[in-house]
Structure 1
Amino acid sequence: MLQALWSASSGMLGQQLAMDSIANNLANVNTTGYKKSRVEFQDLLYSEMRAPGKKTLRGEIIPTGFQTGNGVRPAGTPVIFGQGIIQQTDNPLDLAIEGNAFFAVRRPDGSLAYTRDGSFKLDAKGTLVTADGSKVLDENLNPLTFDSPQSLKIDNAGAILEQQAVGRIPGFVFEAADKLEKVEDGYFRPTRESGKALPAEQNNKEGRDLYFQVLLPDGKVAYTKETQVSVDKNGRLITEKGYPIVPEVYLRLADGSVTLDKEGNLTAAVQVGKLRLVKFVNPAGLNKIGSNMYAESVNSGAATVAGPADYTLRSSALEGSNVEVAEEMVNMIIANRAYELSSRSIRTSDEMLGMANQLLKR
């Protein structure tokens, strides 16, 4: 009878720990990048009064044993790394991970940590940091610092792009631009009345509109004021209609985007760094250290660089918690009822002991 008291008390303790885990999950339902956990249980050693298969004095074999349990114990609180809901934001420094990866950060004490929380900010020095000031690291484990963070962009692979000047296209002016011959919409050729094309650097003191040379499909040169440009599959700069700029310009761009202004200045997204994203063989073995961070452990395995197939980054977005409120409420009811039944077992055992005690008094 006394064993029932200890078994029931271990059940109450186990359900109390389960309730602690459920409460923590619900408390973090709005925590960015939070991953829920659950309590796993194991039964304790058994008191064996008769082993199964034992022979009686008459030589008969007992088909079943006689064992009584000693209760339950918590075996662990594994983290469930299911994908959280991606929520769009208006902050270009917000990043959400889809897939199996973590951001690498350097904590204020110098130690490495890992997080799924991509709500990054810039400090006074232009360094990319987390909410608690930990520095976000690049692929070489160095802090990411930027001179002009206003033009930053981060692509789906974690490459950090910055708009920079990459060149200049020579512009031309005409004495009488209204006398140009129209070849097609937006494209012209000089005439005797318009005069020859003059280099703008030496002949544009009046601030006239600049024209740029392009090569038409017939092999002849034409002039346009069009500034909508891009690069073809070979990296050659072309207009919106696909006509190459003259002289030919070839660019190797991080994301293929390039801008040409009316003065002939070319700006493009240039890669200035790359976020370090890592993965683990057993992410459930990571140590939770607070502030939405994890630390590497022996059971998690060493951090390795995550490849393009492991993740996709979403810029101007955050990953929400993967806690399902309805599921946690059901688990709470189950834990409450199990706790209640364990306490009832203690009360019933106590009543039975009281009855035995009354018999002894007689």
Structure 2
Amino acid sequence: MADLTLYTATTGLKAQQLSLDVLSNDLSNVKTPGYKTSFIAFADLAYIEKTRASNSAEENNVFPMNIQIGTGVRPVAISRVATQGAVEETNMPLHIAIDGKGFFPVLNEVSGQEYYTRSGLFTLDSDGRIVTSDGHVLQPEITISDTVDSIVINKYGAVFEVFDNVEVEIGQIELAKFINEDGLQNIGNNLFSETTASGVPIVEEPGTADMGFLMQNYLEASNVDSLDTMLNLVSTQRTYEQLLKVISTYNDLLQKLNNSYGS
């Protein structure tokens, strides 16, 4: 039983440590455009059966209830909470918010890898192409003239250059979504990559297939609720301390038991 007590408490400590790691990451990204807060799912471990409830009146001993001892907890998933973040006005023409479920497809030209992002924090590279802050090229590629007066992007993703108050359409922004968003691989830098679990991307124009609409001059803020996250952080810390107390209490009892046998 000694080993079971310590093992069970240790699984709890590891679970709370994971919670602290996830919560601290959420708080760190409270100002990251397009960031989605995380949700951890746990499951209890196998039970040790001391007495099984009888399921037949013919059994010699009829027990009305089971006596089972749990052996702890394990994490089973860390999911992203995909609720829409607040949309904040920036008045920057290449800042684009998605009001919906879609992702911007972008290409890392060095590796040839396509990624997906919720962050619409775009700029232009030296060739006038619309790129992320890390230089990943928006797909399909759109190039802006260096003589343009202004850029207009409508909610359906059509991109226009404006010359002398005349709009000329030069490209179309497309969005991607996935059957299983939680299956995406988080790369960092606001980027995700496709996996077998996520399924292949479904690519459509904004305004179709639940992709959502675009909002030029805006950015989607993180959906992290800093107050709620802080409350969860305090609760997790207290649970961690209580589990440490379980281990300390057991060690004290074990020491007293050893002393009683030794006297």
Same fold (TM over 0.5): yes
Asked if the contact 1:86–1:320 (Cα under 8 Å) also holds between the matched residues in 2, the reply is yes
1:189 equivalent in structure 2: none
Distance 2:20 2:13 in 1: 10
**Partner AA of 1:278 in structure 2:** A
Shift of 1:322: 0.4
1:144 equivalent in structure 2: 142
TM-score normalised by length of structure 2:
0.92
Distance 1:71 1:56 in 2: 33
Distance 1:128 1:152 in 2: 12
Q: Structure 1: which 5+ runs fail to align?
A: 166-258, 260-266
Q: Closer, same or farther in 2 for the Cα pair 1:44/1:283, shift >3 Å?
A: same
Asked if the contact 1:286–1:299 (Cα under 8 Å) also holds between the matched residues in 2, the reply is yes
Q: CA RMSD in A?
A: 1.8
Distance 1:55 1:284 in 2: 44
Q: Does 1:274 align with 2:165?
A: no
Deviation per CA, 1:3-42, whole angstroms, max 9, x where unpaired? 1111111111110110000000000000111111122211
Q: Closer, same or farther in 2 for the Cα pair 1:357/1:124, shift >3 Å?
A: same
2:46 equivalent in structure 1: 45
Which of 113, 117, 120 is the equivalent residue of 2:119?
117
2:9 equivalent in structure 1: 8
2:156 equivalent in structure 1: 157
Asked if the contact 2:142–2:170 (Cα under 8 Å) also holds between the matched residues in 1, the reply is no
SS at match of 1:39: strand
Distance 2:123 2:59 in 1: 81
Shift of 1:60: 3.6
Q: Which runs of 4+ in 1 moved over 3 A?
A: 54-58
**Partner AA of 2:249 in structure 1:** T
Asked if the contact 1:22–1:38 (Cα under 8 Å) also holds between the matched residues in 2, the reply is no
Q: Which has the higher helix share?
A: 2
2:63 equivalent in structure 1: 62
Kindly report which structure 2 residues correspond to 1:229-248, keeping only aligned pairs within 5 A, or say none: none
SS at match of 1:38: strand
Q: Does 1:298 align with 2:187?
A: no
Q: Structure 2: which 5+ runs fail to align?
A: none
1:324 equivalent in structure 2: 225
Alignment length (residue pairs): 257
2:255 equivalent in structure 1: 354
Distance 1:326 1:154 in 2: 35
Distance 1:36 1:58 in 2: 52
Asked if the contact 2:149–2:163 (Cα under 8 Å) also holds between the matched residues in 1, the reply is no
Shift of 1:151: 2.8
Asked if the contact 1:81–1:284 (Cα under 8 Å) also holds between the matched residues in 2, the reply is no
Deviation per CA, 1:197-220, whole angstroms, max 9, x where unpaired? xxxxxxxxxxxxxxxxxxxxxxxx
Deviation per CA, 1:236-269, whole angstroms, max 9, x where unpaired? xxxxxxxxxxxxxxxxxxxxxxx5xxxxxxx3x2
Identity %: 35
Larger Rg: 1
Asked if the contact 1:55–1:62 (Cα under 8 Å) also holds between the matched residues in 2, the reply is no
Distance 2:114 2:200 in 1: 12
TM-score normalised by length of structure 1:
0.68
Asked if the contact 2:149–2:162 (Cα under 8 Å) also holds between the matched residues in 1, the reply is no
